[in-house]
Homo-oligomer: A and B are copies of this chain.
Amino acid sequence: MNLPAHVLIREVGPRDGLQNEPEILSTDAKVAMIDALARTGLPRIELTSFVRPDVIPQLSDAAEVLAQVDIPPGVARSVLIPNERGLEKALAHRARFDEINGFLSASESHNRANVNRPVAESLAGLERVFATARAEGLRCEGVISVAFGCPYEGSVDPTRVFELAGALAAAGAEEVAFGDTTGMANPRQVGEFFAAARAALGDGVQLTAHFHNTRGQGLANVLAALEAGCTSFESSVGELGGCPVPKGATGNVATEDVVSMLDEMGVQTGVDLPALLDVARSMQDRLGRPLGSHTLVAGPVDWQNTGV
């Protein structure tokens, strides 16, 4: 099996994980979560988003979170930026983050449902956002939602996704993440997608996979992407968040499940799995419901602890 020696994981729990939570966590709770995550060895964390507080009240304290977190050097701090106004707000705290993520959808229908504008308009906005961000010395990531299937339009042509990725790269994105936003990807598709993506986009842009565990295929999709040469992944501690579509479905693949599988396969992540499980457990306690993570229940593979 052709696997890389190590991969990069971006933890998206504090943003993607929390933005759909019915309970709005206190700023202190978010800061404690982020500070703990930042000490597990995770190399990259998405901290928050400067979205409209009336649309996503869960993240209305973005400025306070940025101001209060205590992130060790070497951990890249990302912020999701929806548009130019969001970037302006974020730049008031420029010293507190290193990277921005800007997003659009691979399908017109999803883009319209999500941000009420055509894809071309989102792309034009991102071009301006990335230009300003790069002038500020920020690293830019473009995120393409519903890259593996759209809940309104069905299958999505990978060629169209690669065109958008190429446009984002041309606009200054050093990284493009492909989101399986409603969990429609399967491993064969993922393997073919990442092989073709590399061929279409070359080596100049980092390609990142963002999978959900909607139909239980999250780790199988991670495996397929790994085998196709993808070495960068986004995931969420505790399987928090993601798009709750269909109703009741699980969201992002759990970071600890990804790390557990990679650890067992000898693929290095730099993450201390027990420390990460402590964060997942504390989030489960705080939210007061069982989270979807498997490794949180089963523990790491450690045969001395699993005997009947």
Identify the A interface with B (CB < 8 A): 1, 3, 113, 149-155, 182-184, 186-189, 191-192, 213-220, 222-224, 227, 243, 245-246, 248-250, 254, 257, 260-261, 264-266, 293-295, 297-299, 301, 303-308
In the assembled complex, 15 residue pairs joining A and B whose CB atoms fall closer than 8 Å, in A order, are A149-B303, A152-B303, A184-B301, A186-B261, A187-B261, A187-B265, A188-B264, A188-B265, A213-B216, A216-B254, A216-B294, A217-B260, A219-B219, A220-B222, A249-B294
Cβ–Cβ < 8 Å partners of A187 in chain B: 1, 223, 261, 265
Q: A307 near B152 (CB under 8 angstroms)?
A: yes
| Other-chain residue from B219, B227, B254, B308 in contact with A151 (beta carbon distance below 8 A) | B308
| Other-chain residue from B213, B220, B245, B261 in contact with A308 (beta carbon distance below 8 A) | B245
CB distance from A237 to the nearest CB of B (A): 14
Copies of this chain: 2
Q: B249 near A297 (CB under 8 angstroms)?
A: yes
Q: B223 near A306 (CB under 8 angstroms)?
A: no
A308 to B216 alpha-carbon distance, docked (Å): 20
Cβ–Cβ < 8 Å partners of A265 in chain B: 186-189
A246/B188 contact (C-beta < 8 A), A219-B220, A303-B154 known = no
Cβ–Cβ < 8 Å partners of A248 in chain B: 297-298
Residue of B nearest to A109 (CB): B307
A169 to B41 alpha-carbon distance, docked (Å): 47
CB distance from A249 to the nearest CB of B (A): 4
Known: A186-B261, A220-B261. 6 other contacts (CB 8 A): A3-B188, A188-B264, A189-B264, A213-B294, A217-B260, A246-B298
| Other-chain residue from B217, B250, B299 in contact with A246 (beta carbon distance below 8 A) | B299
Q: B307 near A216 (CB under 8 angstroms)?
A: no
Cβ–Cβ < 8 Å partners of A264 in chain B: 186, 188-189, 217
A186 to B308 alpha-carbon distance, docked (Å): 20
Cβ–Cβ < 8 Å partners of A113 in chain B: 308
Q: A246 near B306 (CB under 8 angstroms)?
A: yes
The 3 A-B pairs with the shortest beta carbon distances in the complex, nearest first, are A216-B294, A186-B264, A188-B265
Cβ–Cβ < 8 Å partners of A243 in chain B: 308
A207 to B261 alpha-carbon distance, docked (Å): 24
Q: B260 near A215 (CB under 8 angstroms)?
A: yes
A303 to B257 alpha-carbon distance, docked (Å): 27
